[in-house]
Copies of this chain bind each other. A is one copy, B any other.
Amino acid sequence: MNPEQLLQDTHIDKSSYIPLYIQVRDILKDLINSGKLQPGDQIPSENELSAQYNISRMTVRQASQELMREDLIVIRRGEGTFVNSASHTQMLLKLEGFSSEMAKLGYRNHSRVLDIQMIEAFDSFELAYSGLEKEPGDALVRIRRVRYVEETPFAIETSFLPFTIGQGLMDPRMADDASIYNYIEKELHIRLSRADHVIQPGLAELETANLLEIPKGSPVLKLHGTTFSMKNKPVEYLEGIYRGDKYELKVVITK
């Protein structure tokens, strides 16, 4: 559908008390929600929209920036603006690395490496769901760590990395407190963009319980998901088990 058809029944009211950028934002939102714009579709360019409604491009940008923050669209410089295909994602969680967050709050935290191994993809059942998209037999590096705040263990994290990324972490330089994300960003110069994770409740099994120093069967949060680079390549599949009594998910829900 060309821009004229798409926007033909839309209009803005310059005399309205509703800000113009809100009106534009809502027009685009409606087009997406009504299905007239499908995931992946390109949205009329900023110049087209500003011409269509006779408003300045900066005003259009205010609208599209908001939609980008809401994850309804993705904006690609030089290319254009598109309806986000992951628009069924119901929830959005922003966070920083856990270490820096805890450090900011004044807690000392560190990790203890349980083991670092080279394994074959599909050794682990969950890899089938990992998004790492490895062929069977491809090499992966698996790192298992226990994470502590002060002297209390609060999580077990198992990272699966493609061999090209993980090999540098297999040598003895991989000290207990090395940050995998730091290594990927600072040493390999791969910039990370996002992670898709799923969080579920679970019960601590025996080995888990021992490592976390809690009774077997205690409630835990289980997390698994994939971290992606800026180029949208999966760089890590993570499984984490977090103590329910020491770890809670703080959440601010906004409309």
A contacts, CB < 8 Å to B: 33, 69-71, 86, 88-96, 101, 104-105, 192-203, 217, 219-221, 225, 227, 244, 247-255
Q: Known interface pairs A69-B69, A254-B194, A255-B193. Does A199 touch B91 (Cβ–Cβ under 8 Å)?
A: no
Cα distance, A252 to B152, chains bound together (Å): 28
Given the known interface contacts A93-B92, A95-B90, A203-B219, the answer about A198 and B244 at a Cβ–Cβ threshold of 8 Å is no
Which label, helix, strand, loop or mixed, suits the secondary structure of the A interface?
strand
**Which of A70, A93, A194 has the most chain B CB within a 10 Å cutoff?**
A93
Query: Cβ of A88: which chain B residues have Cβ within 8 Å of it?
Result: 104-105
Copies in the complex: 2
A95 cross-chain contacts in B, Cβ below 8 A: 90-92, 253
Residues of B within 8 A of A255 (CB): 94, 96, 192-194
Taking a contact as CB atoms under 8 Å apart, the answer to whether A252 and B92 are in contact is yes
Q: Report the bound CA distance from A196 to B252 in whole Å.
A: 4
| Complex contact B86–A252 (CB within 8 A) | yes
In the complex where A198-B248, A200-B244 touch, is A253 in contact with B91 (Cβ < 8 A)? no
Chain B residues within 8 Å of A93, by CB: 91-93, 251-253
Q: Tell me the smallest distance from the CB of A191 to a CB of chain B, in Å.
A: 9
Shortest C-beta distance, A234 to chain B (Å), equals: 14
CA distance A89 to B93 in the complex (A): 11
Is A250 a contact of B90 with CB atoms below 8 Å?
Answer: yes
Q: Are A252 and B200 in contact (CB under 8 A)?
A: no
A193 to chain B, nearest CB (A): 7
- Please tell me if the beta carbons of B220 and A217 are within 8 angstroms of each other in the complex: no
